Amino acid sequence: MKNYILSFIILSSVVACNDTTPGADEKSSPNSDSFVAKIDSPKTIAPDRLAGFGLTLEEMQDDSVFTDGSVPTSWEVAGISDVKGFKLFIKKLQLLVLDNEKEQLAKEIRYPLNKSIKTEADFIKNYDQVFTKDAKLSIAKINFSQIFRNSKGAMSDGGMVWFAQEGKEFKIIAVNY
């Protein structure tokens, strides 16, 4: 139970890291070294504990205008019909990345990922080259109410990681490393 509570606190701080207010506490910044250390250190969150993990009302709030003033493309254009399911998928990915759960992350990818990553075994073997600190941070700091999307799918910060809905499932479809 303590691990579950600790995991919830850690994830809450990851999600809260979207705060870009001037003067925000450096320790909670997704760009700080302590945050990167948390991303790289293994945790003890079991993937089966994700079942009851929900989204806050703020995370479910949909965007109408991004902070840069641009209007987001509809979820339908991105091929995503289950927005809540997609956001739960992203939250699950955040936990898996935080835990460095290579085997579980391998199941969340559409293969081939690129020319050299054609199977789950290839991904697991090359995990550190694919999920670099930058890729991990781009997933960790996703702002749930301002997820960029277009006809190719949805993406994390700067297009580092791309996601798509395939049938009723969601998959990582590209990692730009």
The pLDDT tens digits for 105-130 are: 999 999 999 989 999 999 999 999 99
Distances (CA, A) of 50 to 47, 76, 118, 120: 6, 26, 27, 21
Give the tokens for residue 124: 């697991």
pLDDT above 60 (res 52): no
Tell if the pTM clears 0.95, that is, is over it. Answer: no
